[in-house]
Structure 1
Amino acid sequence: MQVALQDITLAYDYHHAILDHFSATIPDGELVALLGASGSGKTTILNLLAGLLTPRSGRVIFNQTDVTAQDSRQRNIGMVFQDYALYPHLTVRDNIAFPLKMAHVKRAERYQRVADLAKLVQVTDQLYEFPHKLSGGQQQRVAIARALAKQPDLLLLDEPLASLDTALREELRSVIRHIQQQTGVTALLVTHDQEDAL
């Protein structure tokens, strides 16, 4: 899915504009990195794309369709957060399956999709573990699999490597790129780290 932000202006109450006539296009099926310092508006852009924020002016376009007024439930978005945001009381299997369960996907189909995603992100041997038993890199792999569960049109990654040590960061960079290439999902990764972006 091609994504475009057209002439976006957004400001929080009583503050100067975070984004002022900002425009960008993410080509269909590409992984794009958005690099910037903390507080520069990177996460704001993700939240605009996810439908969690509405711009003061400008348009959000998905495949030539204006989705600016649609909320997050109407957009087919997968989102991965810096802190993983896994449910601590659910196993890896049930964390990945959660969006499918909420979408009322039948159990057999749900768990087949989980098995496929677990293989893709290389956590098959952790399916029955709880998040607290996993390393940071494993938790992030699970978070990516969960974000991909509903086959999103757009995958948003908010500083997904920021809380990992150097070795894990390098490993996860390759994993994210491999997953994006295998699935063909349009993806936007935001980071303040130049090496991650490159």
Structure 2
Amino acid sequence: MEVRLENVTKRFGRVVALDSVTLTLPRSKFSVLLGPSGSGKTTLLYLIAGIYKPTKGKIFFDDRDVTTLPPNKRNIGLVFQNYALYPHMTVYDNIAFPLKIRKMPKRVIDERVRWVAKLLHIEELLDRYPHQLSGGQQQRVALARALVKQPDVLLLDEPLSNLDALLRLYIRAELKKLQRELEITAIYVTHDQAEAMALADQIVVIHKGRVQQVGTPSEIYYKPRNLFVATFIGNPPANILPAEVGSN
């Protein structure tokens, strides 16, 4: 599923969170929305999800205009930073919940839950409750719940930020492998440039509500389009030297 935004603006009162964004996020690729805090990347993700409605502009899934559709009509999977698991439900019931809402047959629900649990190596956790899980296990359950309905687009809002560094590296590699195996369109929000470089087929650098550059990790790193991208990407950041362009 290709996701396309055409001249999308989002205002909250007088604050312009996104300013005239036109962008294509390709089918079956891992796109990362990268920028500092307050840049507008999460707002962009929530517009794609249907949680927010644009002030102006249009959003398309392939050629289907979804601008005014609610989230439940878009066939998306969404993983939040805090996982948002239901504490009174077992892992099995947490994963099954989106399918129960759709009133799917019990046999289909059971097959789907066990399929995604096997995919994410959490079969032995199905009878546990969220408070009995580690952070990494909770993250996998949240991801399983997003994937179980076989979404057209998988949206991830900084899902690894609450994990310790070593676990973050491990889950990051698994997430990329999973996306490739399922050939799903994934859109991932982060402020961590190392995470973006490791995961992305395409990086969208956002700052002050505007798209600064779109490209592969290599293009973003070696061919920054402007001063912000050049100083934001890289550790340490690029050296900037004052110069004048002279004639030959």
Cα drift, residue 112 of structure 1: 1.0
Q: Which residue does the alignment assign to 1:143? A: 142
**In 2, distance between residues paired with 1:76 and 1:2?**
13
**In 1, distance between residues paired with 2:104 and 2:64?**
27
Secondary structure, aligned partner of 1:84:
coil
- CA deviation vs aligned residue, 1:55-78 (integer Å, no higher than 9, x gap): 111110111111111121211111
Structure 1 unaligned spans of 5+: none
Q: Does 1:184 align with 2:183?
A: yes
Q: Which residue does the alignment assign to 1:39? A: 38
Runs of 4+ off more than 6 Å: none
Secondary structure, aligned partner of 2:139:
helix
Larger Rg computed on CA atoms: 2
Structure 2 unaligned spans of 5+: 198-248
**In 1, distance between residues paired with 2:177 and 2:124?**
19
TM-score (norm 1): 0.97
Cα drift, residue 14 of structure 1: 2.6
Q: Which residue does the alignment assign to 1:126? A: 125
**In 2, distance between residues paired with 1:181 and 1:125?**
25
**In 2, distance between residues paired with 1:171 and 1:105?**
34
TM-score (norm 2): 0.78
Q: Which residue does the alignment assign to 1:48? A: 47
Identity across the alignment (%): 50
Q: How does 1:31-180 map to 2 (within 5 A)?
A: 31-180=30-179
Q: How does 1:5-24 map to 2 (within 5 A)?
A: 5-15=5-15, 17-24=16-23
Report how many residues are paired: 197
Secondary structure, aligned partner of 1:146:
helix
Higher mean C-alpha deviation, range 76-85 or range 6-15: 6-15
- CA deviation vs aligned residue, 1:60-119 (integer Å, no higher than 9, x gap): 011111111112121111100110100111111111111011111111110111111001
**In 1, distance between residues paired with 2:47 and 2:28?**
19
